[in-house]
Amino acid sequence: MDQETVRTICYLARLEIDKDKAEKIENELEAIINLIGGLQAFDTENIEPLYSPLEQKAFKHEDIENSDNKKDEFLKNAAASNDDYFLVPRVVE
């Protein structure tokens, strides 16, 4: 895992690693990737991926309103909000 890749995945995950921990984390990630690299030894030609242990179809619900909105509680849980909105530092598009 080169530095560039680490930087990219850190950004995609919106995480930053302390500079003093960087080498340790990179080594750990390296070790885990080696572990999961062991999968290559298994022949999976023509095998369908199993994304869920349940092989059943999704339940579809009716288009009927059923609100469980708790606006005040939702807003209260936020670090910054007013009576109506969640607030974040201003975004410039």
Q: State which of positions 51-80 bind another protein (CB under 8 A).
A: 51-54, 56-71, 73-75, 77-80
19 lines the binding site for another protein (CB under 8 A) = no
Side-chain half-sphere exposure of 7, counting CA atoms within 13 A: 3
Size of the site for another protein (CB under 8 A): 71
CA dihedral 44, 47, 48, 54 (to 10 degrees): -90
CA–chain centroid gap for 28, Å, is 20
Q: Tokens 């109506």 identify what position?
A: 84
- To the nearest whole angstrom, how small is the minimum distance from the Cβ of residue 13 to another protein? 5
Are 48 and 56 in contact by the 8 Å Cβ rule? The answer is no
Site membership for another protein, residue 23 (CB under 8 A):
no
Q: Which is nearer to another protein, 3 or 62 (CB)?
A: 62
- Amino acid code (one letter) for 19: K
90 binds another protein (CB under 8 A): yes
The least CB distance from residue 81 to another protein, in Å, is: 8
Shortest distance in whole angstroms from residue 6 CB to another protein: 8
81, β-bridge pairs = 86
